Chain A
Amino acid sequence: MEKIISFPHLGDYYIPISIFLERTTKLKVIPSPPITKKTIELGAKYSPDSVCVPFKYNLGNFIETLENGANILFTAGGGCRYRYYAEVTEVILRDLNYNFEFYKLFSGDYLNFREVYRLFKKINPKLSLYTFIHNAIYTILFIWQMDKIDKIIRKNIGFEKKKKQHITLKKEMLKKFKSTNSILKLILYYWKYKHLFKKIPIDKPKDCLKVGIIGELYTAMEPFSSYFLEKELANMNIEIKRYTNLSYLLWQKIWLKKHMLRTTKKYCKYTLGADGLDNVYRTIKLINKKYDGIIHTKPFGCTPEVGAIPIIQKICQENNMPILFFSYDVENSNEGMKTRLEAFHDLLKVRREHK
């Protein structure tokens, strides 16, 4: 039987991740089918009821990809409940009588290179340390550059003169990124496309509305799970700032801890678990940077965020900062979300007029 590797979705990150898996294991890699309503229905059906919604999405991804013939599954791990997703997922899938190998990329909260190398060496005994390091650097660079471009896109996409130019260019860029194995070329492509992105004609007023998105990582990074929140905001001509991305979680967060504790000293003495403190920190930063509003997204019942919310609310109240909370689960009404967003948009506009 041919070995096929697969893994669950997280925004556009499936592209660098599949390249990495492909080039290190030398096996066929097929990412899970794109997330649809069916994915989440499947996931919800076999998940425990009160688990946070990313688990349900991941499980749905796994079931769909297993049905497509995948037999080696990868999952990431991470902090909070993510760290325990893997074992429970595996038990559920085994009870559904699927046959597969299951690997967890890292067992602690952070990426550990030696651990990952050992894991891949097990899958592909021929893997040389050089190939592994080369591809690791390539992938990290890929992710980092993609995240940086995404930041530019979020700033400008709401104001493009011709619709869809950013999206089209990003697709083209990712294709180019994918086509090479050379790290140097990858960097060159980045510079080229960064230049191209800046040249896309936009019609952006100097005092446009600016909104920061904070909250839990999955709902921030997987657009399907937040009902394409960023797209909606862009349609309202709002500049978007989002802190959470893979670069942040994998290697930036760990360096920022001390700095964050210093900035949030007035409110927090310790970290609040998962990204709790990060979001308190971002709230303060967004207020200092004079953003117009904050949108906080999380899965329903997300423990660390629920713990941080009263603190965030307090800060916003003290500083008169509008904040909108979204709590996502399996069934959300798209209309309900739009109504809330529209009202939020009105509120921001009116506040601007009265400033």
Chain B
Amino acid sequence: MNHKIVGIPRALLYYYDKDLWIEFIKKLGHTPKISSFSNKKHLEEGQKLANDESCLSLKLFLGHINELKDECDMILVPRLFSIKKKEQVCTNFNCLYDLVNNLFDINIINYNIDLTEKESKLMAFLKLGEILGASYIKSYKAYKYAEKISLMKRKKLEQEQAEKLSTSKIKILLAGHPYNLYDELIGKPVCKFLSENEITILYSDRIDHTKIDEECKKLSTDIHWTHSKEVMASINYYQDKVDGIILLSSFPCGPDSLSNELISHKIKECPLITLIFEDLNSEVGVITRLESFIDILKTKKEKIYGKNN
């Protein structure tokens, strides 16, 4: 079997399935190569490639592909349509594979999850394994192993998050798509600022995943984007457990344009701000808004604290 270097762009779906991918590829005897943390170069290259009206996250993604294109034998770009029954994902994930294929002249490997066409996740990985030269049995074992590891890691994160709730410090829920929350250019500066100000951060994607359907329903019955449901559920679950909520969004995000509006109508008690990141907007504006938001939370907390005494 030929040993291959498989490129993985550190953007978009990476933040959902990274453990699964990495372990799966390793188990089949190949080397995953992950692109570096997002930087201005990624953005600049992405801007050149993407349509002007694409969202910031997609532009970054294309920048990451551009970084990897000469350094790998193949790059993994999955295509998703429906990953849960009766639900869908943002159309960007529908077209990602074909978009990259048309923009770049590189070897792309992919899998496709589309429950409307009876393409399940397991099937997808078996087919992916086949492309990588492994038998179905070997792929199946690798998938099961990778799934176990990724589940374990997630459980650990969920547990850590649950423990954070007991702290007496100010707690803020950072809600948004993980590819924004953990991106070096988008969520990282926000996290850094919050930690410097001694604020405990809870992340929307680290909610107990068994609670998602139930919690999401309380906020929105109709929402059909699987990834947005996670955000919605965490907001509903944490709204009475944290001091404030920060909604992170990249511009122009299709699902967020509607779901953020719904959230802002339904969350009336918990203080909430929305930060929208557009191309290279300066950190100053974001920091100014964050500072004043934290000031509000602090005064509020002091007031309550004062009353208790």
Question: A-side interface residues toward B, CB under 8 Å?
Answer: 47-52, 55, 80-81, 83-88, 91-92, 95, 104, 107-108, 267-274, 276, 300-304, 306-311, 314, 327
Contacts and interface: CB of A to CB of B under 8 A. Distances in A.
B71 to A, nearest CB: 23
Interface string B85-127: 0101011101111110111000000001010000000000000
Q: Which of B51, B251, B260 is the most central at the interface, judged by chain A CB atoms within 10 Å of its CB?
A: B51
B167 interface: no
B254 A52 contact: yes
Contacts of A300: 53, 252
A303 B254 contact: yes
A50 B257 contact: yes
Contact of A309 (B51, B94, B252): B51
B99 A310 contact: yes
B31 interface: no
B50 interface: yes
Contact of B254 (A80, A91, A95, A269): A80
Interface string B280-291: 000000000000
A108 B98 CA distance: 25
B54 interface: yes
A314 B51 CA distance: 12
B221 interface: yes
A307 B94 CA distance: 9
8 contacts: A48-B260, A80-B91, A81-B254, A81-B255, A87-B220, A107-B222, A273-B81, A308-B95
Contacts of A50: 251-253, 257, 276
B224 interface: yes
B295 interface: no
A88 B224 CA distance: 13
A91 B98 CA distance: 36
A88 B54 contact: no
B224 A310 contact: no
A107 B223 CA distance: 10
A127 to B, nearest CB: 25
A310 B114 CA distance: 23
10 shortest interchain CB distances as A-B pairs: A273-B91, A273-B94, A307-B95, A272-B95, A301-B252, A48-B261, A303-B254, A87-B222, A304-B91, A51-B257
Nearest to B101: A269
Given A271-B81, A307-B99, A310-B50, A276 B94 contact: yes
A104 B222 CA distance: 11
B152 interface: no
A108 B83 CA distance: 15
A84 B223 contact: yes
A151 B262 CA distance: 39
A85 B101 contact: no
Contacts of A301: 53, 252, 254, 257
Contacts of B42: none
B251 A303 contact: no
Interface size class of B (residues with CB under 8 A): 35 or more
Contacts of A51: 257-258, 261
A268 B98 CA distance: 5
A271 B119 CA distance: 14
B90 A303 contact: yes
Interface string B176-204: 00000000000000000000000000000
Nearest to B228: A84
Nearest to B251: A50
Contact of A267 (B102, B114, B223): B102
Contacts of B266: 91
A323 to B, nearest CB: 13
Contacts of B223: 84, 87
Contacts of B10: none
A311 B258 contact: no
Given A47-B261, A273-B92, 20 more contacts: A50-B252, A52-B254, A52-B257, A84-B222, A84-B258, A87-B220, A87-B221, A87-B223, A88-B258, A88-B261, A91-B262, A270-B97, A270-B112, A274-B91, A303-B91, A306-B53, A307-B92, A310-B49, A311-B99, A327-B53
A325 B222 CA distance: 32
B265 interface: yes
Contacts of B258: 48, 51, 55, 81, 84-85, 88
Contacts of B98: 267-270, 272, 311
A27 B55 CA distance: 44
A255 B259 CA distance: 32
B96 to A, nearest CB: 8
Contacts of A314: 102
A116 to B, nearest CB: 17
B227 interface: no
Q: Which of B253, B260, B262, B276 is the most central at the interface, judged by chain A CB atoms within 10 Å of its CB?
A: B262
A276 B91 contact: yes
B253 to A, nearest CB: 8
A137 to B, nearest CB: 27
B206 interface: no
Q: Which of B86, B95, B97, B220 is the most central at the interface, judged by chain A CB atoms within 10 Å of its CB?
A: B95
Contacts of A304: 91, 94-95
B257 to A, nearest CB: 4
